[in-house]
Amino acid sequence: MLGTVALVFLCSWLAAAGGARPAALDVPRCCPADQALPPEALRADLLLAAAVPGACRPTNSTPWAPLVYAPARGSFLDRGRLPVHWRLAFSRVPACLELRILHEHAAPYALLANNGSLLMRGAALALPPERYCADAVAALVCAEDAGGRGPSKCCAEGRAFDGSRCVEDETRALEALNELRELANGSAVGAGWPACAEGSRYAVAGVLTGSKLFEDGALELHGENSRLEAGAWCAEAVAGESGTRVLACEAAARGVRPAQTARHVLYGAGLAIGAAFLAATLAAGFALPAAHHALHWRCQTHYVAALMLGDVLLAATQLAGDRVPPTLCRALAVCMHFLFLSAFFWLNTMCFNIWWTFR
């Protein structure tokens, strides 16, 4: 009887322990319920804490879905799933003078499920809820706690940038890391991309060789006489480029270098002139109706038309530089590929026709 009672008591205790939930935890949100900071307020690097309440605006966006890491599970929770013991504390701004903006799309931070702390990329310790507040697409942390704004390698260890994503390339990644460490002169080198207000769009700002690193983490590019602020750049080996390149947010990269080099302008102008003469050739051909029945004229017309259109698109991309959006750039590349292939096939047909005529 005594053993049965003890067993029941033990089972009840285990069930209670297994079903116990952590104490309720207040997770700070910067704005009131159904409000968020607008994009224009998040374009700055720093924001005065006193200005946050007045900057909040009503929003109809989707439910808050932060990146939450569960240490007990060793994995991230599904997006949109919040720990059951979290309570959202709205309009709770940290009690500090200036707040640094961390954009979520650059993945510079994650919230910890067990205690609601904010862990920044490259930081050794997490920030307690009193030192930050979360917004719909960003987090605001006390400026003095931000840290981690020294030199950083864009991609993870052993990976390099191929123009669109990080790929495995041990050799070039190690070269970039060693060059960055040499520039840092003993300072810690982090990893990660800069947080851009306009989204995850980056461009090459210059070369790392010969650049000057300041104590505050800012970088002066070699030969450009321009400065990138700390946290606005990273360095990486880029496919098709020699040496290590400095990558920055697209807007910042355009601000420190011309939109296009003299080489691109010269290529674009030459292609445009060539396209104009090809258009004149087409016009001359259409002005001679007597030749329209000839097979050679038809082949030549299609050949010149395809070559002219390909040159027009190529000239436009050369002159526009990196101002062409990625989606449009890929579409133009497909069109140019088709047009130049078409031109060479028509040229092959013309050659066969000439051989057949004079054989």
For 36-46, the pLDDT digits (tens) are 998 888 877 77
Letter string b/e over residues 306-340, b meaning 16 or more CB atoms within 10 A of that residue's CB: bbbbbbbbbbbbbbbbbebeeeeeeebeeebeebb
pLDDT band at residue 306 under the 50/70/90 scheme: very high
Higher pLDDT among residues 292 and 152, named by residue: 152
CA distances from 71 to 28, 75, 114, 115 (A): 20, 7, 7, 10
Q: Is the pLDDT reported for residue 314 higher than 90?
A: yes
Residue 6: pLDDT band (50, 70, 90) is very low
Tell me the average pLDDT across 268-284.
92
Averaged pLDDT score across all residues of the chain: 82
- Tell me the torsion sign for CA atoms 205, 207, 210, 214: positive
- The pLDDT value given to residue 149: 60
- Residue 13: the pLDDT is 41
Nearest Cα residue to 231 out of 100, 131, 126: 100
Flag whether pLDDT at 55 surpasses 60: yes
Contacts of 217 (CB under 8 A, 6+ apart): 149, 150, 151, 229, 230, 231
Q: Which residue type, as a one-letter code, is found at position 332? A: L
Of the candidates 246, 268, 266, 256, the one whose C-alpha atom is nearest the C-alpha of residue 324 is 268
Q: Which residue has the higher pLDDT, 83 or 260?
A: 83
| C-beta of residue 158 within 8 angstroms of C-beta of residue 144 | no
Q: Coil, strand or helix: which one is 65?
A: coil
Give the model's confidence band at 11: pLDDT under 50 very low, under 70 low, under 90 confident, else very high.
Answer: very low
Confidence band, pLDDT 50/70/90 cuts, at residue 122: low
Minimum mean pLDDT among 245-249, 278-282, 324-328: which range? 324-328
The per-residue pLDDT for range 195-230, each reduced to its tens digit, is: 776 556 788 888 888 888 887 778 888 766 678 877
Would you state the pLDDT for residue 311? 94
Read off the pLDDT of each residue in 34-62 and give the average, rounded to a whole number. Answer: 86
pLDDT of residue 5: 43
What pLDDT score was predicted for residue 274? 92
Alpha-carbon distance 244 to 178, whole Å? Answer: 10
Read off the pLDDT band of 147 (50, 70, 90). Answer: low
Res 254: pLDDT: 67
- Per domain, the residue ranges of the chain are 23-146, 152-256, 262-358
Q: pTM for the full model?
A: 0.53
Parallel/antiparallel/unpaired status of strands 46-48 and 25-28: unpaired
Q: CA–CA distance from 91 to each of 36, 82, 97 (Å)? A: 10, 19, 16
> Which pair of tokens denotes residue 313?
């698109």
Residues 228, 231, 232: CA angle, nearest 5 degrees: 45
CATH (residue range 23-146): 2.170.180
The listed range with the strongest mean pLDDT (22-31, 180-189, 256-265) is 22-31
Neighbour count for residue 89 (Cβ, 10 Å): 14
Extract the tokens encoding 85.
Answer: 């013991």
pLDDT (tens digit, 9 = 90+) per residue, 327-359? 888 899 999 999 999 999 999 999 998 898 887
Residue 250 has what pLDDT?
Answer: 75
More confident: 173 or 188:
173
Across the beta sheet with 233-237, the strand order is 190-191, 152-153, 233-237, 244-249, 202-207
**pLDDT category of residue 260 using cuts at 50, 70 and 90:** low
pLDDT of residue 313: 94
Q: What is residue 187's predicted lDDT score, i.e. its pLDDT?
A: 65
Short-list 124, 122, 109, 134, CA closest to 31? 134
Q: DSSP letter at 353?
A: H
Per-residue pLDDT band for 279 (boundaries 50, 70, 90) equals very high
* Cα diameter, the chain: 116
Closest CA to 146 of 71, 215, 45: 45
pLDDT in tens, 219-258: 888 766 678 877 778 889 988 788 898 888 877 666 666 5
Predicted confidence band of residue 153 (pLDDT cuts 50, 70, 90): confident
C-alpha to C-alpha distance for 47 and 194, rounded to whole angstroms: 18
